[in-house]
Amino acid sequence: MASASDRRDEAVEPDGFVVLVPPGDRIHFLDWGGASAPAIVLVHGLAATALGWATAARRLTAVGHVVAMDLRGHGLSDSPTEPGAYDLDVLASDVVAVAEAAGGDATSSVVLAGHGFGAIVAAVAAAVLGRRCRGLVLVDGGLSDVAETTGIDVEEFLRGIDEPPEVMRSMTAYLADRRAWDPASWDGDEEKAARAAVVETPAGRLVPVTRPHALEACVRSMFEYRPAETVAAVAAPIVAIRRRAGADADASAASAASAARPHAAIDVIEVDAPGHNLLRYRPDEVVAAIAQVATLRAGR
């Protein structure tokens, strides 16, 4: 059985592509290549980009054809402004389009993995794919109703997502802030991912690369997500890797989502981590979880 490689070369860069989705929007994705099948599609979280998956992506090429996408409104993907452009079913259709562009066509199987908000989008996409989805990996997201577990409404959440002005005053200040979250896990991949999430103005200040209207619309979609309904519709095996439960509400929500799948329990893996970004803090466990579902026999 193939296994994920422990080796990664930060000098290896993926190829970039776009896939057109109706009515002509371009969805950008990075292609690391790898084994011919299955297609492994990686979906980032709010205000991030495909580069956040770089460390995991390089290692997963041993078990599948690995791509990571920029959600619409993020990174190098288009950012439409029409109403409903960031509804979960639309975002999920973008994931399916990327999967098909990466080789996960009607005769092939697809593994989906998402982080945070990307886990929600990946879960909806897995339900759409049905039997074409070989497995779904939820990385610190996708199991909980956000309003119930945070105890706040969408408006309060939106008021709290702006970066502090002192962090955005310069690239130096911004990178220092990101490195300080956990110096031990800061490396070249993390710096590239951090740089990809912002744009430097001529005056030297930074602005997020995620368009404000897109971020707000994605947050509103996140608050509309009902995990039990979605995961119950996913036919594929589901592995969820998450920070160790620190709140009863969060644990209860995860249990409720798992109970909604009487045909197949969700394999929940809890890890200790200093923050939400398990792609950075616990890459070994994330890679292992994705490799676990990628190496299942198709149709199992």
- Angle subtended at Cα 277 by Cα 129 and Cα 201, rounded to the nearest 5 degrees: 100
How far apart (Å, rounded) are the C-alpha atoms in residues 167 and 161? 13
Residue 258, pLDDT > 80, answer no
Residue 287 CA, distance from chain mean position: 13
Rounded mean pLDDT of the chain? 90
Pairing of strands 39-43, 110-115: parallel
Over residues 46-79, the pLDDT tens digits come to 999 999 999 999 999 999 999 999 999 999 999 9
Please give the average per-residue pLDDT across 175-183, as a whole number.
97
Residue 170 CA, distance from chain mean position: 27
Separation in Å, CA 270 to CA 90, 113, 140: 30, 16, 9
Q: Nearest CA to 174 among 201, 202, 206, 212?
A: 206
Q: Is 187 helix (H, G, I), strand (E, B) or coil?
A: coil
pLDDT at 13: 85
297 or 237: which leads in pLDDT: 237
Over residues 151-176, the pLDDT tens digits come to 999 999 999 999 999 999 999 999 99
Over residues 265-293, the pLDDT tens digits come to 799 999 999 999 999 999 999 999 999 99
The token duo for 47 is: 């205000």
pLDDT at 35: 80
Residue 224: exposure state from Cβ atoms within 10 A (0-12, 13-18, ≥19):
middle
Residue 114, pLDDT > 90, answer yes
Q: What is the DSSP letter of 211?
A: -
Q: Is 138 helix (H, G, I), strand (E, B) or coil?
A: strand
Tell me the HSE value of 12 on the side-chain side, using a 13 A CA sphere: 15
What domains, with CATH codes, occur in the chain?
15-147+211-294 (3.40.50.1820)
Pairing of strands 15-21, 133-139: unpaired
Over residues 195-222, the pLDDT tens digits come to 999 999 999 999 999 999 999 999 999 9
